[in-house]
Structure 1
Amino acid sequence: MKNHFSQYQNPLRILKLISGRQWLTFSASWLAWTADAFDFFCVSLNVDNIAKEFHKSHSDVTLAILFTLLTRSIGAVIFGALGDRYGRKWPMVGNILLFGILTFSTGFTRNFSEFLAVRSLYGIALGGIYGCAASLAIENLPNEARGIMSGVLQQGYAFGYLLAAAINLAIVPNSKYGWRAIFWFGIGPAVLIAIFRAVIPDEDAAKRRALSSRDSSTTMTAKDKGRVLLKEIKELFRYHWLRLIHAVALMSGFNFMSHGSQDLYPTFLTSQLENTPTTSTKVVSIMNFGAIIGGSLAGYFSQYWGRRITIISLCCVGACFIPLWYLPTDWRILAIGAFFMQFCVQGAWGIIPIHLNEISPSSTLRAVFVGLTYQLGNAISSASATIEATAAEKLKTKSPSGKIVPDYGKTQAIFIGAVFLCVIILTAVSPEYKGAMLEEVKYADGRVVVQVKPDVDKPETVEENNHYEG
């Protein structure tokens, strides 16, 4: 037994390998991702309030979620490409400020059409964050720390949801402006995070300059750099289309999994089970604590068990908790099921930042690959909440008071069960480069190789451990 556990490193010892500058860079990415989630879930937490003000159904309001997710792919390409070519820092700063402004603008929409239009534009700004944030955060860390910090980074999303739930409860019921107040509040954190990202040392600059030098001298004009960028994007689709398609399919499954288990859960708690906003916030908060813990632990253990086996195991365990997640009427028991459901869902998600970075075919297009596959997956899964809301409105049930209401619980349970199965299959056939160094070596013959650290549990040849680019 002693020898079995000797392979595991003390997490605190791993964290000590991270320098102060690396912590600052990682923190900026984590905060940006947290603000991303905070602003996104402002709609999910106020579906009922928005529906009442605009005289729409819940399924109508979920169209805002759908449009936001659909347009995120545009932002992923734009800001991911800018980050890969010119460095992650300033595209991130502009991106954060832009989605803060559009969040603020949401609170001023006068009708439902304006609301949908602003949320669609917001999706473009929102879509650029993940690629730059995940790439910058992971690639600048020591290799030994990338697994555990992948989980920590991803759970900025759960922490953002947690903050949104708590602040929504504090602001919305006590404001004469109702749901609009939470959107006005959202610009404050965005501005502060953008300033923080702008003033901290640019850990990414040296690497970007080194990579750009492989294309030409430093005298390249902006127009020339643009041509090179377009050429590299074309090569990504031409030579790595199969990996791109698989990564998009995998991200579709993951996004169906998270949005299917989160977006309408507050509506399920309040509209179907008739809980008070305070009780609903308690359950959502406990649920997100489970997400934060699960994501952090899963990222750490995936460093030893492998990315795929950890994801598959968590999906299997999560499926077992579906009954406890939606059947109880006592909120305390329901909270236990929600805790473990999100422990598994976000635990699996905690592995995604490092997994996407490792299977990316090129470090010069890493932000584009990570951001684009993630956001295309978001686009494909964008109808999650609308599908669930529409199905629930047709599948009626009785509320505790005897009213006939949409059955959000059963609909979400069926939906998430099917999604778990799809994610297990897609993960099983996914490539895995656990331990990839994420640095390139260029040889005299023009080959560019991403060095991959050999897996101690599976010795391979040098050729099998290298991931060839050109």
Structure 2
Amino acid sequence: MSSNEPAEPIANGIIPVAKQSFADLFRWKMRVEVLNEYGEKRAEWQDPPPIRNPISLFMQLSARDWIFFLVGFFAWVADAFDFHALSIQTVKLSEYFHTSKTDITTAITLTLLLRSVGAAFFGLAGDKFGRKWPMVINMIILGFLQIGTIYSTTYQQFLAVRSLFGLFMGGVYGNAIAMALENCPTDARGLMSGILQQGYSLGYVLAACTNLGVGGETETFKTVFWVGAALSFAVGIIRVFFPESRQFIEARKAGKKATAPSAFWQETKAMLAKEWKMCIYCIILMTWFNYYSHTSQDSYTTFMLEQKELDNAGASRASILMKVGACVGGTIIGYLSQWIGRRRAMVGAALISGFLIPAWILPLGERSLSASGFFMQFFVQGAWGVIPIHLNELSPPAFRSSFPGITYQIGNMISSPSAQIVNAISEKTYVTAPYTGDTVQAYGPVMGVATAIIALGIAVTAALGPEKRGRHFETARIAGTQTIEYVKDVENDAESTKGIGAERIEMSDKKDEAK
């Protein structure tokens, strides 16, 4: 019998869950659902794990764990580099293809729209066949599509290649975070989640450094894409030489062989029937988060070039420092989320970023913009640093590759017009530049208003949503090996949850005591 304080059962239904989650946000202890040997559920209050020395957490990872983490991390870095190679070169590409910056950001919209398709295909492949070969295929094709971008001679070819790029880019995230985090010890997952998510920011930093190195000439955009292709090829080739994820292998051994080829899909449909509300919640949360990052960063270089009238070198340096802040913030706040809670970390970071908006868009000059961008992205990506492990913990255990990837990329799809909206409104709205008195496009005010709305939306959504911090999913079998049991569980779900009241807990205690 547990010595922890009994708690009210985990609520069912959208409104009861929202009320319970909001109340739990102001209670330090965690409400945790546990099972006894009779398979009966009960809820209790548990103390959060004590804050740990990061070095001791790093030491919990074995050499094999580090290999899986680093491969997943660098796959995410290469993926981010490939994406940002376009967003930070919007001005160059508009000049090369003789079109507007808004037209160039159409490619970003198409990329984000099609990422959800790739996430579904490669995520389900990762849950069915393993994390290794779907990732290898993914990264190799991404490299070829970067080369295809270089050799596009018309705007229509450019859009077609970037659409295909989005399709294959979508498959990286789910497999990368599943492979990287499922092998990490439970206590270290908050810290490692924060570091992992900053692969996205590091990819931006590397793309910005490359852009700074090649200069501001129009044709130099091709060099940046060549570097991106090389990174994608390198990660794909390196992944070939390392084994399948240990957790996937052990899960496959623990599960029985599927009785029919359709077992995987039967279990997938059963999971969706049971977890549809969780799916919708995660999609809403990821929609807010993707608007959050794309609105605050995709047009930031353009903002410094057009409204603040910096040169290419100054805007690139400020962008680099901005993303250094993102790397630091994501790591620190992801680490703290293991102690203060996933939702508290997200809510706090989002609200602070909202208060920083005036200091983010009003400064003049490279130094001031670099400092304000650093602190703004510290909290934007600080909130993001919690997301990989939060999605993994909310996922059905057998679908840790597909569930995070699909919900993340559907959120990306819904938020896909974000950069295009910012550019379209900014190009039609004007302010006066303080230094020169020139009439310039109003990127700052547009990004500021949009980011304020989004930050508030994240805070409310996270405050009312579920949290499963510290969830143990190591023993879950792979999808397709527990079809009969899973489908029966779905059919009996409503019946099984009826008895999770005080009487059932009392009965469980009596059985434990008798035993």
TM-score normalised according to structure 1 size: 0.89
Q: Which residue of 1 aligns with 2:305?
A: 270
Tell me how far 1:185 sits from its aligned partner. 2.3
**RMSD after superposition:** 2.3
Q: Which residue of 2 aligns with 1:414?
A: 449
Q: 2:356 aligns with which of 321, 340, 354?
A: 321
Structure 2 letter corresponding to 1:160: G
Q: Which residue of 2 aligns with 1:181?
A: 223
Tell me how far 1:104 sits from its aligned partner. 1.4
Cα deviations by residue, 1:230-255 (Å, 9 ceiling, x for unpaired): 22332232221111001000000000
Tell me how far 1:200 sits from its aligned partner. 1.9
CA, structure 1 residues 278+313, in 2 after alignment: closer, same or farther (shift >3 Å)?
same
- Structure-2 separation of matches of 1:132 and 1:415: 31
Q: Which residue of 2 aligns with 1:376?
A: 410
| Alignment check: 8 A CA contact 1:21 1:203 kept | no
Q: Which residue of 1 aligns with 2:368?
A: 333
Q: Which residue of 2 aligns with 1:452?
A: none
| Alignment check: 8 A CA contact 1:85 1:208 kept | no
Is 2:429 the partner of 1:388?
no
Tell me how far 1:441 sits from its aligned partner. 5.8
Tell me how far 1:6 sits from its aligned partner. 9.8
- Structure-2 separation of matches of 1:23 and 1:403: 53
- Identity among equivalent pairs (%): 38
**Structure 1 stretch displaced more, 179-188 or 269-278:** 179-188
Q: Which residue of 2 aligns with 1:432?
A: 467
Alignment of 1:135-284 (within 5 A): 135-173=178-216, 177-204=219-246, 205-210=248-253, 213-216=255-258, 224-225=260-261, 227-284=262-319
| Alignment check: 8 A CA contact 2:215 2:313 kept | no
Tell me how far 1:438 sits from its aligned partner. 1.6
CA, structure 1 residues 228+334, in 2 after alignment: closer, same or farther (shift >3 Å)?
same
| Alignment check: 8 A CA contact 1:251 1:374 kept | yes
Q: 1:127 aligns with which of 159, 166, 170?
A: 170
Number of matched residues?
439
- Structure-2 separation of matches of 1:299 and 1:180: 35
Q: Which residue of 1 aligns with 2:93?
A: 50
Cα deviations by residue, 1:56-86 (Å, 9 ceiling, x for unpaired): 1111111000000000001001100110001
Structure 2 unaligned residues grouped into runs of 5+: 1-46, 490-501, 506-515
Q: Which residue of 2 aligns with 1:467?
A: none
Structure 1 letter corresponding to 2:408: Y
Q: Which residue of 1 aligns with 2:155?
A: 112
Q: Which residue of 1 aligns with 2:110?
A: 67
| Alignment check: 8 A CA contact 2:215 2:312 kept | no
User: SS state of the match for residue 473, structure 2?
Assistant: strand
CA, structure 1 residues 242+461, in 2 after alignment: closer, same or farther (shift >3 Å)?
farther
- Structure-1 separation of matches of 2:283 and 2:348: 21
- Structure-2 separation of matches of 1:20 and 1:440: 21
- Structure-2 separation of matches of 1:114 and 1:441: 45
Is 2:132 the partner of 1:89?
yes
- Structure-2 separation of matches of 1:351 and 1:52: 38
Tell me how far 1:446 sits from its aligned partner. 3.9
Tell me how far 1:272 sits from its aligned partner. 1.4
| Alignment check: 8 A CA contact 1:86 1:208 kept | no
- Structure-2 separation of matches of 1:136 and 1:461: 41
- Structure-2 separation of matches of 1:128 and 1:462: 43
- Structure-2 separation of matches of 1:304 and 1:242: 27
User: SS state of the match for residue 220, structure 2?
Assistant: coil
| Alignment check: 8 A CA contact 1:172 1:179 kept | no
- Structure-2 separation of matches of 1:263 and 1:383: 11
Structure 2 letter corresponding to 1:22: D
CA, structure 1 residues 323+271, in 2 after alignment: closer, same or farther (shift >3 Å)?
same
Tell me how far 1:153 sits from its aligned partner. 0.3
Structure 1 unaligned residues grouped into runs of 5+: 218-223, 450-459, 464-470
User: SS state of the match for residue 76, structure 1?
Assistant: helix
User: SS state of the match for residue 397, structure 1?
Assistant: strand
- Structure-2 separation of matches of 1:22 and 1:153: 13
